[in-house]
Amino acid sequence: MAKGPFKIPVITIDGPGGSGKGTIAQRVAQALKWHLLDSGALYRLVGLAASHHGVALDNEASLKILAENMDVQFVVDEPDQPIRIVLEGENVTREIRSEEAGRMASKVAALPGVREGLLQRQVDFRESPGLVADGRDMGTVVFPDADLKIYLTASVDERAGRRFKQLREKGMSANLADLQAAIQARDEQDMNRAVAPLVPADDAVIIDSTDMTIEEVFTELMHHARQKGLIH
C-alpha cells in the first residue's frame, strides 16, 4: 500500500529469467533516481539462508519464518554501482547469482508461506520519490496499483545466450545447452505454480526484447513512463 496521503509512484517490471529485467530496472531506477527492488534476490536469499541453516526446501513453516526474519541488507556503496547484498553479515552478492541459487529460489518461491513471508519486506521498499520493482508478480500481486506495469520477455534461446555471456564475463563456468534446459525448467515452474504464477498483469505493456538492445528497451520503457506522466 502507498504510505501517507500521497501515493508513491511505482514502475513494475515482471518477466521470465534472463529477459533483461534486472539490467533495465537498474537503468530506470538510476535515470529517475528512484529506489530499486530486486525481488528475485529475496527468493534467492531465502534459498541460501535455508541451505546455511540446514532447512529443507520443502519445509514451508520453517522457510516462512526464515523469509520473515532473515537479516538482509541491501547496501548502496555508490549510486551508479550494483547493490551489495549482505545476508547475516556475509556478502553474498555473487553467491546468490549462481544457477544453483536460482534453482533453489524457484523451488521456495512456489510455497505460499514463503511468498507471504516476503510480502511486507517488498511493500516496504516503496519509498519516496518512487520505486522500480522487478520480479515475477510485482504488477499482479505486490503492487497491483502500480503506475506503469511492464512485462518483459524474450525467447528461451536468446535468454540462455545472455545468461551464458553474463556468467562467462563473471568468470563463472557455464554450458549453453544446460542453461537452455535450466531456463525452460524454471519457466515451467514459475508459470505453472498455484500461487502468483508468472503471467502479465491485464494492464501490463508487453515488450519482447528478443531482437532489441538494452538501450532500445530502456528507450521504449521511458517513453511509456513519459506517457503516464511519471517523467516531465
Binding residues for ligand DC, rule: CB under 6 A, are 17, 39-40, 43-44, 102, 105-106, 109, 135-138, 186, 190
State in angstroms the smallest separation of the CB of 138 from ligand DC.
Answer: 6
CB nearest ligand DC: which residue?
Answer: 40
State in angstroms the smallest separation of the CB of 175 from ligand DC.
Answer: 18
Q: Would you say 168 or 226 has its CB closer to ligand DC?
A: 168
Q: Would you say 138 or 221 has its CB closer to ligand DC?
A: 138
Q: Would you say 192 or 227 has its CB closer to ligand DC?
A: 192
State in angstroms the smallest separation of the CB of 44 from ligand DC.
Answer: 6
State in angstroms the smallest separation of the CB of 229 from ligand DC.
Answer: 26
State in angstroms the smallest separation of the CB of 150 from ligand DC.
Answer: 14
Q: Would you say 32 or 85 has its CB closer to ligand DC?
A: 85
Q: Would you say 130 or 137 has its CB closer to ligand DC?
A: 137
For residue 41, give the C-alpha cell. Answer: 534476490
For residue 144, give the C-alpha cell. Answer: 497491483
Per the DSSP assignment, residues forming a β-bridge with 202 are none
